């Protein structure tokens, strides 16, 4: 076993999947509370990647795989964006042959290898009593697997798509919405100057929350989302109508990266898949832009409307967290410690109807969290419904 001991126990923490603002505040909250309660905290680097790369030898340099966290270290990072522990999309249950760590290649020789046995052995070698993964449904689905294997896991939800089941809010969503609104408003000046359609591709593989909320807030005239396949000619007609009504002669549509044309499928950059079997999305904004331009003369007296086409991508996940993504991670981290101190595990900390709570961790894998088209999306107008806000939570739409 590694020479890592504390009076009360050891807590491991990691961040997996895409980076979002709010991860460092969550790490800070867990660490400071844990240290003051008498625990030691180990930061696992590169998400689940750090846990499969560890070499269980006393004198081996594992500093690239984990580090001991201090109050000074997390205080310095806690006000910043990203994750100082780094992240990856590693799935220890399905590691490609070429990605198996060098010291394990004689032992694991299949095209896809389940390294869960090594992960559990590494947790034991590190002396970790409780593990707190912070991630989206992919990262946390493996947390469910570890819990089922006997590890004491308490999960914290994060993803700018806001699509982790069981919670109304995931770390990173508010900053994503804030950035989307800001950048859309900045690009309005160019769209208006040139009298164009403004097409912005935003995150959202399966769920359209990151397109819906900015549109609801007035950032865009229309939005298309993964939950409803859209007719491009109808979208062109609506945007042309919006453009004519606008004194500056432009209109705006937000396009979720997972949105699909009527009769079509998702648009991918290539056919390669990540560790969780997902192909890399990209290009629906380009495809929408091209078709809008081609169809525009039909609704504009025979004249073509040019396009400003921008993929927001990493611009909305970079930089410092906003107020909500500074406060919620603090609360989530402390909720995780509350559970731990009561010796409760196998839980996901959540926000439900404006109140902090926790749910069984397997809710992550038990359902999908999607926009309810019937309740929130007007399929004729390709925009959110604006009705029945009484007693709704802060961000209006939940997965229930």
CA 168 to centroid of chain Cα atoms: 13
**CA 44 – CA 107 distance, rounded (Å):** 23
**CA 208 – CA 205 distance, rounded (Å):** 8
Our answer to whether residue 129 is catalytic in this structure is: no
* 57-95: b (≥16 Cβ within 10 Å) or e: eeeeebeebbbebeeebbeebbebbbbbbbbbbbbbbbb
**CA 163 – CA 273 distance, rounded (Å):** 20
Contact 127, 5 (CB under 8 A): yes
List Cβ neighbours of 314 (8 Å cut-off, separation of 6 or more): none
Residue 189 has a CB neighbour count (10 Å cut-off) of 11
Backbone dihedral angles phi then psi of residue 384, each to the nearest 5 degrees: -65, 155
Residue that the structure tokens 């009298």 belong to:
195
**CA 134 – CA 44 distance, rounded (Å):** 11
- Dihedral Cα 271, 277, 279, 284, nearest 10 deg: 140
Give the active site residue among 129, 138, 161, 358: 161
Fill in the DSSP letter of residue 77. Answer: H
**CA 284 – CA 269 distance, rounded (Å):** 10
Contact 180, 312 (CB under 8 A): yes
Burial of residue 240 (CB within 10 Å: 0-12, 13-18, 19+) is: buried
Residue that the structure tokens 């299949």 belong to:
110
**CA 225 – CA 211 distance, rounded (Å):** 7
**CA 92 – CA 50 distance, rounded (Å):** 10
Q: Which residues participate in catalysis according to the annotation?
A: 161
């Amino acid at each position: 076993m590694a020479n890592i001991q504390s009076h009360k126990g050891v807590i491991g923490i990691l961040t997996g999947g895409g980076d979002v603002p709010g991860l460092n505040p969550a790490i800070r909250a867990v660490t400071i509370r844990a240290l003051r309660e008498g625990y030691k905290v180990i930061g696992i680097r590169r998400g689940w990647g750090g846990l499969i790369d560890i070499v269980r030898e006393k004198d081996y340099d594992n500093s690239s795989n984990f580090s001991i966290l201090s109050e000074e270290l997390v205080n310095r990072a806690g006000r910043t964006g990203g994750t100082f522990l780094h992240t990856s999309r590693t799935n220890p249950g399905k590691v490609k042959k070429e990605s198996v760590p060098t010291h394990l290649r004689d032992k694991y020789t299949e095209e896809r290898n389940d390294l869960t046995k090594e992960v559990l052995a590494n947790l034991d070698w590190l002396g970790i009593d409780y593990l707190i993964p912070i991630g989206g449904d992919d990262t946390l689905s493996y947390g469910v697997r570890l819990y089922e294997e006997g590890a004491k896991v308490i999960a914290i939800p994060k993803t700018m798509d806001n699509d982790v089941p069981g919670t109304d809010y995931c770390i990173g969503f508010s900053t994503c919405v804030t950035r989307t609104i800001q950048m859309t408003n900045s690009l309005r000046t160019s769209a208006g100057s040139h009298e164009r359609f403004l097409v912005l591709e935003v995150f959202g593989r399966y769920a359209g929350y990151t397109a819906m909320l900015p549109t609801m807030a007035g950032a865009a005239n229309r939005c298309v989302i993964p939950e409803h396949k859209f007719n491009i000619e109808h979208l062109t007609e609506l945007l042309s109508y919006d453009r004519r009504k606008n004194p500056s002669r432009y209109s705006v549509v937000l396009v979720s990266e997972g949105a699909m044309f009527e009769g079509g499928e998702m648009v991918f950059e290539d056919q390669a898949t990540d560790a969780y079997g997902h192909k890399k999305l990209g290009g629906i904004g380009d495809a929408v832009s091209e078709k809008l331009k081609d169809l525009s003369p039909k609704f504009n007296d025979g004249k073509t409307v040019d396009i400003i086409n921008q993929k927001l991508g990493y611009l909305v996940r970079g930089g410092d967290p906003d107020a909500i993504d500074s406060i919620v991670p603090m609360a989530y981290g402390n909720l995780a410690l509350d559970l731990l101190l009561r010796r409760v595990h196998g839980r996901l900390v959540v926000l439900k109807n404006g109140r902090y709570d926790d749910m069984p961790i397997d809710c992550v894998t038990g359902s999908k969290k999607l926009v309810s088209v019937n309740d929130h999306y007007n399929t004729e107008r390709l925009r959110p419904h604006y009705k029945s806000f009484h007693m709704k939570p802060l961000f209006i739409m939940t997965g229930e």
